[in-house]
Structure 1
Amino acid sequence: MPTPLWITATPPAPHGELHIGHLAGPYVAADVLARFLRADGRPVLFTTGTADHAVSVQERALRTGRKPAEVAEGYHAAITADWRRSGITFDRIVQPRQDSGYTRWVQDLFVRLHAEGVIAPRARLLPYCEPCDRWLYGARVTGGCPHCGVTGAGGVCRTCAWPNDCGDLLEPSCDRCGTAARLRRCRRLYLPLEPFRETLADYWNTLDLPPRLAALCESLIEDGLPDVAVGYPGDWGIAVPVDDFADHRIDACFESAAMQLFGHASRDEPWPERTVHFCGFGHAFCHAVLLPALLLAQGVKLPQDFHVNEGFRIQAGADEVWALDLLTEFGSDTLRRHVLAARPVGRDTTFDRDHLARARQVLDGTWNGWLSRLFAAVREESSGLVPQVLPGGAGWDVHLRRMNRGVAELREAYSLDSFDPRRAVAMLDEIVRSTDDFGHVNAHERRRPHRDGRHLAPLVAELSVAAALTAWARPVMPEGADRLAAALRIAPGGPVDEDALAAPAAGTRLDPPSGPVFGF
């Protein structure tokens, strides 16, 4: 049996709930690919986690008067609940503070890399806030990125994805009190990437990187790979297991990369032949640079694919748009369909509530409208039973050829090497619209003065398309697809192929839901 394809999605920091940008970024898209491959019979391991030890978690705790562990555990529960409501089905979600053996595994990796000289001490400048009497790093510090100039936090710039050493920030200040920081020398542990120059360059050359990510990697090679800080003085997170650094904690970016490895390696299975990473561009450094470096340091050269999304922005002046609120109002089908159709590929996308409302209108007016008319026609013309005739009707041969071409394009949009969920949504809409047109044209058969049963064949033809959608649409809208399968009394979740285009067995009594099939 082949080793499972390993799909990862960026572990979010549990300092708040999921917002619309998270769903539009890695999570729904990765779930679409995982669902398609599973239905196709390919073994898949789909993993993520929550970055419980991110500095932002501790900062949220300080602002709200809570303990960091309470913040991490509370928002972990909220985030995983939102994933479930969104229909996102991970095989494993790493929870650092709960998973047995996690801390020891990360520390053992750290010790091993330190013993091999991959991790080494350096004395560098680090911002310090005198009024707060604390070192500033990660979410504790705000300043201009030394590479792109955009204001952000320390560590990795979420705009250009270049790492900074915090002391390199332009005009750094304390995020808590706003005081301008002083730069002090601080001895920390680093992972110098320059020794990996040749192996990383060769490795990246073997991958089909997205152009913006390729430009980042080539620029890093051109300008000189940085030394990446992997520990900071602090009291939140996993303790650095190296003498003289007992009061330091492992950096969140290093831990995020290690967490991805733990999600697979802790299963004690062979490394997969291929892995696919889904992440926002602002997290690309951890996935495309640091994670491969950790693997290469252990002698593992793992073919990797990257699906990198840009930002899904909120309109200026608008409040944050939380996933839970939208799921409650629109449901998972509508929200998944919308974030896939509006997926920020190659450029930032701005969330527009009107566009989300129009997505619901398409499902209500086109998808559910067609299915309601189809179920009503079967009830009126065949007592709610699937007619005992072959599919047919005016234009059916042409429509069937279109459906077969359509599913071929749909498979291409779902497939690993040509993954394009925006195209998948467009193809599904076209399939439904053209089938709705086919149904309207053939509805006039019922008006013939002398009925000879020919009006039933188009209904069976439409039912065959409806049955196909229980498989074809399931990666995008699993809730509605399963509801449709129940209405047709067929098993859900089949492969996305031509064989799905088969009506339920003749004589099957349909059981349409009392409400909409897709969305609500």
Structure 2
Amino acid sequence: MKISNYSAAELEKSYGMDVTTLDTGAAARLGVAATWVSIEPGARSDAHQHDETETWVIVSGSGVLTVDAEPHPVRPSTVVQFDPFETHSVENTGETDLVLLSLYWRDTGRAARAAADTGHRRFGTRPLFVFSSAPTPNGDLHLGHLSGPFFGADVFVRYQRMNGADAWHITGSDDYQNYVVAAARREGRSPAETAAHYSAEILATLGLMDIDVHQYTVTSQDDAYPEALRAFFSRLTASGVVAPRTAPALYDAVSGEYLYESGVTGRCAACGEESGGNVCETCLEPNVCTDLTDPRSTTSDAPPREGSATRYTLPLHRLAEDITAHHRLGRVPAPMKELAERLSRRAELDIPVTHAATWGVQPAETAVEGQVIWSWLDYAFSILHGIEAIGRDLGRSWKANEPEQDWKIVHFLGSDGSFFHPMFVPALYRLAHPDWTPDIDYHINEFYLLDDTKFSTSRRHVIWGKDILSPRTVDAIRFYLALTRPEGRRTTFERDAYESYVRQTLIGTWQGWLNGLGDRIEKRYGGTAPDAGVWTPEHAAFLARLETRLSAVTGSLGQDGFSLNRAAETLNGMVEDVTAFSRLQAPAADVESCANETRTAIALELAAARLLATCAAPVMPRFAARLAAALGGPPPAEWPSTVDLVPAGTTVDLARQQFFADPGEHAPEPDAAPRSGLEAAAPGTTAPTGDAPPLLPWLSDLVRQSLRLPDDKPVRDTSLVQLGMESLQAIALQYQITEHVGADVPMEDLLGAKTVADLATLIADDMDPDVVAAQQEVTT
């Protein structure tokens, strides 16, 4: 027998708690460990998770236990058991020590089941806000941009929704960036005009990429935004931590302009590599511009002069422990933690949060005049603002100034945001909302290169999204980007390699197998799915292989192990498995005595096709919907828990489907086919009579791209609302029309009863006839 008594004198610090390990004797031999735990009044243990199953028995005191962001009161006689990997901490809210007994042991089977659970960390029971880094509206999006946060967030949300999660993709244009001013100066227009133009272009390009955004905030066009941002800033100054501070600053030697961000370059003091103002893209450390070596102004050739400036400043070093605690709550990649540790070695890390500029939102505070709130602080608030906007549309009570503990936030970002997202932003939240403990996951990607060199607009080394994306190419682009995007290392896009992959793999292997399967079903079973017959050991082994692939792609798209690289590899592996299986089964296909076995083999191939359609849905939604329809089903809406056979007797239409287009082929010009000027009629319909409006082919193409409709979808005699257009899409379309032909179409017309043909006529009537003729010539 062993007896252990609680002794405060034997306690040692662990996970922010005072603990002492018990000698449990026989219990230890059975695999159970135990500790006494004590938490002082007002203290909180560190949030942590582990693979053991753990049971707490509260002996004395009271407090609040938080498990995966959900609070629970505890008191003497409360018994709690934690599943593996549940993030938990406890706060002593009483006036005496909170004492508990902890018993923990390893159950590897239970841990494995918990790790594979798609609802792990309460993803399926609380609102899930997924943010892709707000793009700077100083240019359109190229493939490097599209491969990163926007695409990752889109696939993540689609997968979570298929698992029943209340998930939303939120982004917007980061209008008040200093880089917008630089672009405006370069292009000869105002920052407001520049931001409005590129914000609309960005939204349109996201649409071409089939990236669903549920809230797109255009900060400079939201009337309520400036005042709400000022209120957030006032919360920071009210904390007493963010305050005016005079420090060195750089100024252009010719114009005297204050320099920061895009206005200055130099060599990073930390790594020695070339760096822009305020952050180094190589080592990812922040700078305050004056610490750059050999700084250079981007607006004149003279070396900048150093002066001083009084700016509102955040002493980030004072919040180092809060940042570390924040990183214990969610998914934080190791490079981010290493960067945080590196920065924690600095004795001081004072980050200016206002800058001398005219483009931006000025604080309500008047202690420092002529400055605007820094765009990265602006961005931190825009996240909360976006959540409130989503809530308003849904009739939910989510408020930017009252963030809720139950919110789960997920950031998708490029590596150059590794300081701002997981360190700067949560520090601001700690000051503005001290009673809120934000639970945030982070997913990062590195730079995507073009032919092994960084995308560069100035050197014309770039592939713009609009130049390569169309309804015919979007699935192939999405899949290839998923396969090659830079996760954990820089990768490169090579157009020849992409086109070769589409032809050899997506068309040659995927489409070749699906078309061939359709041919066999038509010839042998009259175009309907056969019922499985006799099963051989090989059949059972293949079914098990499909289950393994399902498990692998589930893990690759799940919240903990999210990786589009692995998901794409697994989807292709699924096709490689089934084509190999088909070849092995082919010799017996026409053997009469094996007819029942052949039926099983075909049923299993159809099961693989059905599984492919469902599992590909987050990555390639158009392909998934078309394949599901060819198998007699609706677009995939739920994530599968197992491999299912296609019901016997289902009509199968695979033989002549074109799932992927050759990237070298040009799409047929929509609405421009008949030389008589008539719009081509869809099969089974009557062509309209009379001359088509001259801009109809161009506008029809633009509408199809905006709504992601098939190339052959008739749109002439249908209104945009009937086609499914919503307000955000209409805004993007309005800007594209203005940009391309200079016409200003009122929103009430775009979202009214006018058909596409009516709108084409309306636009042409508002234009110079010579411009109309020129545009018509370009289209036809």
The alignment's TM-score, normalised by the length of structure 1, stands at: 0.93
Of 419, 431, 439 in structure 2, the residue corresponding to residue 303 of structure 1 is 439
Equivalenced residues, count: 519
Q: CA deviation at 1:225?
A: 5.0
Gaps in structure 1 of 5+ consecutive residues:
none
Q: CA deviation at 1:273?
A: 4.5
- Matched letter for residue 277 of structure 1: H
Could you tell me whether the CA contact under 8 Å between 2:514 and 2:655 is conserved in 1?
no
Determine helix, strand or coil for the equivalent of 1:417.
Answer: coil
Q: CA deviation at 1:330?
A: 7.3
Of 477, 482, 485 in structure 1, the residue corresponding to residue 620 of structure 2 is 477
Could you tell me whether the CA contact under 8 Å between 1:337 and 1:425 is conserved in 2?
yes
Answer with 1 or 2: which has the greater Rg.
2
Of 513, 519, 525 in structure 2, the residue corresponding to residue 376 of structure 1 is 519
Aligned-partner Cα distance in 1 for 2:413–2:233: 24
**Residue equivalent to 1:418:** 561
Could you tell me whether the CA contact under 8 Å between 1:404 and 1:498 is conserved in 2?
no
**Residue equivalent to 1:313:** 449
State yes or no: 1:106 paired with 2:242: no
Of 155, 176, 187 in structure 2, the residue corresponding to residue 64 of structure 1 is 187
Change (3 A) 1:163 1:391: farther
Change (3 A) 1:389 1:404: closer
Aligned-partner Cα distance in 2 for 1:32–1:235: 38
Aligned-partner Cα distance in 2 for 1:330–1:132: 50
Determine helix, strand or coil for the equivalent of 2:310.
Answer: strand
Q: CA deviation at 1:371?
A: 0.6
**Residue equivalent to 1:467:** 610
State yes or no: 1:4 paired with 2:108: no
Q: Which fold has the larger relative contact order, with Cα–Cα distance below 8 Å and residues 6 or more apart in sequence?
A: 1
- Matched letter for residue 362 of structure 1: T
Determine helix, strand or coil for the equivalent of 2:220.
Answer: coil
Aligned-partner Cα distance in 1 for 2:590–2:355: 78
**Residue equivalent to 1:277:** 411
Could you tell me whether the CA contact under 8 Å between 2:515 and 2:657 is conserved in 1?
no
Gaps in structure 2 of 5+ consecutive residues:
1-123, 392-396, 399-403, 454-458, 663-780
Change (3 A) 1:254 1:401: same
**Residue equivalent to 1:350:** 492
Determine helix, strand or coil for the equivalent of 1:88.
Answer: coil
**Residue equivalent to 1:41:** 164
* 1:468-490, Cα deviation, whole Å (9 max, x unpaired): 12211112211211111121221
Q: CA deviation at 1:82?
A: 1.7
Change (3 A) 1:344 1:190: same
Q: CA deviation at 1:365?
A: 1.2
Aligned-partner Cα distance in 2 for 1:177–1:333: 45
Determine helix, strand or coil for the equivalent of 2:168.
Answer: strand
Q: CA deviation at 1:513?
A: 8.2
* 1:351-373, Cα deviation, whole Å (9 max, x unpaired): 22233223313111111111110
How do residues 401-440 of structure 1 correspond to structure 2 at under 5 angstroms? 401-440=544-583
State yes or no: 1:399 paired with 2:542: yes
Determine helix, strand or coil for the equivalent of 2:271.
Answer: coil
Determine helix, strand or coil for the equivalent of 2:560.
Answer: helix
- Matched letter for residue 89 of structure 1: D
The CA RMSD over aligned residues, in Å, is 2.4
Aligned-partner Cα distance in 1 for 2:342–2:531: 65
How do residues 137-176 of structure 1 correspond to structure 2 at under 5 angstroms? 137-176=260-299
- Matched letter for residue 102 of structure 1: Y
Aligned-partner Cα distance in 2 for 1:272–1:8: 17
Change (3 A) 1:407 1:451: closer
Determine helix, strand or coil for the equivalent of 1:184.
Answer: strand
Aligned-partner Cα distance in 1 for 2:470–2:301: 37
Change (3 A) 1:258 1:405: same
Could you tell me whether the CA contact under 8 Å between 2:142 and 2:462 is conserved in 1?
yes
**Residue equivalent to 2:204:** 81
- Matched letter for residue 493 of structure 1: P
Change (3 A) 1:220 1:451: closer
Change (3 A) 1:39 1:518: farther
Stretch moving more, 350-359 or 75-84? 350-359
State yes or no: 1:335 paired with 2:477: yes
Determine helix, strand or coil for the equivalent of 1:147.
Answer: coil
* 1:158-192, Cα deviation, whole Å (9 max, x unpaired): 22221111222222222123332111211111122
Determine helix, strand or coil for the equivalent of 1:235.
Answer: coil
State yes or no: 1:248 paired with 2:371: yes
Determine helix, strand or coil for the equivalent of 2:184.
Answer: helix
Aligned-partner Cα distance in 2 for 1:500–1:76: 43
- Matched letter for residue 260 of structure 1: I
Determine helix, strand or coil for the equivalent of 1:276.
Answer: strand
- Matched letter for residue 327 of structure 1: L
Of 422, 425, 429 in structure 2, the residue corresponding to residue 288 of structure 1 is 422
Stretch moving more, 31-40 or 335-344? 335-344
Could you tell me whether the CA contact under 8 Å between 2:517 and 2:654 is conserved in 1?
no
Aligned-partner Cα distance in 2 for 1:519–1:271: 47
Aligned-partner Cα distance in 1 for 2:296–2:611: 57
- Matched letter for residue 488 of structure 2: G
Change (3 A) 1:510 1:138: same
Aligned-partner Cα distance in 2 for 1:448–1:424: 37
**Residue equivalent to 2:138:** 15
Could you tell me whether the CA contact under 8 Å between 1:6 and 1:275 is conserved in 2?
yes
Stretch moving more, 277-286 or 152-161? 152-161
Change (3 A) 1:450 1:345: closer
Could you tell me whether the CA contact under 8 Å between 2:208 and 2:471 is conserved in 1?
no
Aligned-partner Cα distance in 1 for 2:554–2:226: 41
Could you tell me whether the CA contact under 8 Å between 2:171 and 2:217 is conserved in 1?
yes
Change (3 A) 1:251 1:220: same
Aligned-partner Cα distance in 2 for 1:481–1:475: 9
Q: CA deviation at 1:392?
A: 5.3
**Residue equivalent to 1:326:** 468
Could you tell me whether the CA contact under 8 Å between 1:479 and 1:518 is conserved in 2?
no
Determine helix, strand or coil for the equivalent of 1:27.
Answer: helix
* 1:10-58, Cα deviation, whole Å (9 max, x unpaired): 1110111112222222221222221111101122122112111111111
Change (3 A) 1:389 1:82: same
Report the structure, 1 or 2, having the larger helix content: 1
Q: CA deviation at 1:64?
A: 0.9
**Residue equivalent to 2:81:** none
Aligned-partner Cα distance in 2 for 1:332–1:254: 35
Change (3 A) 1:344 1:451: closer
**Residue equivalent to 2:336:** 213
Change (3 A) 1:507 1:251: same
Q: CA deviation at 1:500?
A: 4.9
Change (3 A) 1:291 1:67: same
Aligned-partner Cα distance in 2 for 1:310–1:7: 19
**Residue equivalent to 1:456:** 599
* 1:93-148, Cα deviation, whole Å (9 max, x unpaired): 22102234222211110122112223211112221113234111111112222222
Stretch moving more, 391-400 or 427-436? 391-400
Aligned-partner Cα distance in 2 for 1:510–1:379: 8
Of 180, 195, 199 in structure 1, the residue corresponding to residue 322 of structure 2 is 199
Could you tell me whether the CA contact under 8 Å between 2:157 and 2:167 is conserved in 1?
yes
- Matched-pair identity in %: 30
Change (3 A) 1:329 1:32: closer
**Residue equivalent to 2:117:** none
Stretch moving more, 46-55 or 345-354? 345-354
